[in-house]
Amino acid sequence: MSRQSEFLQATRDMLPLLVGAMPFGIIFGALAASAGLSAGQTLGMSLLVFAGSAQFIVISLLGTGAGAAVLLLTTLVVNLRHALYSATLQPFVRHLPARWRVPLAFWLTDEAFAVVQHRYAAADSSPYKHWYFLGAALAMYLNWQLCTLIGVLFGQSVPDLAAWGLDFAMLATFIGVVVPMLRNRPQVAAALVAGAVALACHGWPYKLGLLAAAASGIAVGLLLELHVARAEELA
Amino acid sequence: MSTWSLILAMAAITFAIRYSLFAFPHLRFPLLVRQGLHYVPSAVLSAIVIPGMFMPDGQHFALALDNAYLLAGLASILIAALTRHLLATIGGGLLIFFLLRGLLGQLPL
């Protein structure tokens, strides 16, 4: 595929994920004002930080009067999962110059990661898969800015916006991404263990339970894979 | 700390994490690490989804029939397993979710 077709294919593949992220961005834009952020600061946070779950947690903590150290530590822990994404995609972007790697890293989100790792896993050896990465990343970025803006402009005119439960859109999106990946027992085990540990450790400070859950899921998946491989060798 | 300093600090932390491994293009991972990374999407996204279904408010366990997040989440898993279609999962899941919320009288109408 050419550069343009990789780029355009990515924006098409991102469409469902953009739909799923929309309510999240709009609610963020609407709720940030009640946490004391100005319209400029709300848009600035989306433009510069570009990390939905961290942005949400920070504005909810701001409302409780938490200190800067707690806010930044929470940002760090909530976003540490992106280091795993960075590691997963590193073998595919290592050949690119820094002028590519820096912006692609800045735009690395859950949603972009989901479609991009799928594209890199495809068997064809297209030399322009980083254009696919760029398309997915930019689509997500523009969508997030637009939704934040809509939330800032119109959020106050919809009463009880947060009470509708539009956040379910994100759950449905992630379910739609994960379930088709569960093609073998180690993958299923990784998902179940991660989910169970996340529930068990939800009370840990700074969202550390998320990290414990991810680490446990990965460890169990890997151990099971090694176990299956050894059983096949013996058979 | 002013709000703008907070935003800039959050931006710096977030970028540093995302760039962490992209910053070392010469680094090659051992086989065991590469195998382990195959489980990153399933593990991380499940660690977000499962608590979202069982604890919609983020605090309390809600293993109950009036928990639309749980019921519609299970329905979405079923749709995803049967169709393997992302948009169908999101659309079907949201439809079931709002039907349930409406039937349970949980919408702010």
> Considering only alpha carbons, which residue of chain B is nearest residue A158?
B108
A191 interface with B at CB cutoff 8 Å: yes
- Chain A positions touching B56 (Cβ under 8 A) are 165
Nearest CB to A41; choose among B4, B26, B53: B4
For the entire predicted model, the pTM comes to 0.92
Give residue A52's Cα distance to chain centre: 8
What are B20-71's pLDDT values in tens digits?
999 999 999 999 999 999 999 999 999 999 999 999 988 899 999 999 999 9
The minimum CA-CA distance between A56 and chain B, rounded to whole Å, is 12
The per-residue DSSP string of chain B comes to --HHHHHHHHHHHHHHHHHTTTT-TT----HHHHHHHTTHHHHHHHHHHHHHHH-TTSSS---STT-HHHHHHHHHHHHHHHH--HHHHHHHHHHHHHHHHHHTT-S--
Cβ contact, residue pair A190, B9, below 8 Å: no
Average pLDDT rounded to a whole number, residues A47-52:
97
A202 interface with B at CB cutoff 8 Å: yes
Question: Rounded to whole angstroms, how far apart are CA atoms A206 and A67?
Answer: 13
Cβ contact, residue pair B45, A16, below 8 Å: no
Average pLDDT rounded to a whole number, residues A137-155:
96
The minimum CA-CA distance between B65 and chain A, rounded to whole Å, is 16
Asked if the ipTM is above 0.90, the reply is: yes
Question: Rounded to whole angstroms, how far apart are CA atoms A111 and B67?
Answer: 26
Q: Identify residue A113 by its one-letter amino acid code.
A: F
Q: Which residues 32-71 of A have a C-beta within 8 angstroms of B?
A: 36-38, 41, 44-45, 48-51, 53-55, 58, 68, 71
What pLDDT, on the 0 to 100 scale, is given for residue B76?
Answer: 98
The minimum CA-CA distance between B102 and chain A, rounded to whole Å, is 10
**Burial of residue A138 (number of CB atoms within 10 Å: 0-12, 13-18, 19+):** middle
Are A78 and A210 within 8 A, CB to CB?
Answer: yes
